[in-house]
């Protein structure tokens, strides 16, 4: 049995509602982008699309060359 996830619109409304009234447009967009990145990361982890810390370090070292 699966639990129904809230819609994207509902999640966005909740995120904006939880932010201070003084939040700027850019702050809201940053929070939305962060939420999306976390969702993508969790989906990758669920699909076992991860790598070890050492493999990640190797990739970063390769970029620096």
Quote the number of domains for the chain: 1
pLDDT digits (tens, 9 = 90+) for 37-47: 999 999 999 99
In a domain, 12, yes or no: yes
Domain that holds residue 44: 8-64
In a domain, 43, yes or no: yes
Torsion of CA 46, 63, 35, 53, to 10 degrees: 40
In a domain, 3, yes or no: no
pLDDT digits (tens, 9 = 90+) for 7-21: 999 999 999 999 999
DSSP 21: T
């Amino acid at each position: 049995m699966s639990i129904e996830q809230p819609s994207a619109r509902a999640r966005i409304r909740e995120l904006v509602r939880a932010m201070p009234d003084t939040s700027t447009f850019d702050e809201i967009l940053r929070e939305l982008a962060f939420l999306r990145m976390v969702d993508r990361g969790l989906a990758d982890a669920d699909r076992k699309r991860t790598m070890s810390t050492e493999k990640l370090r190797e990739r970063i070292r390769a970029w620096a060359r």
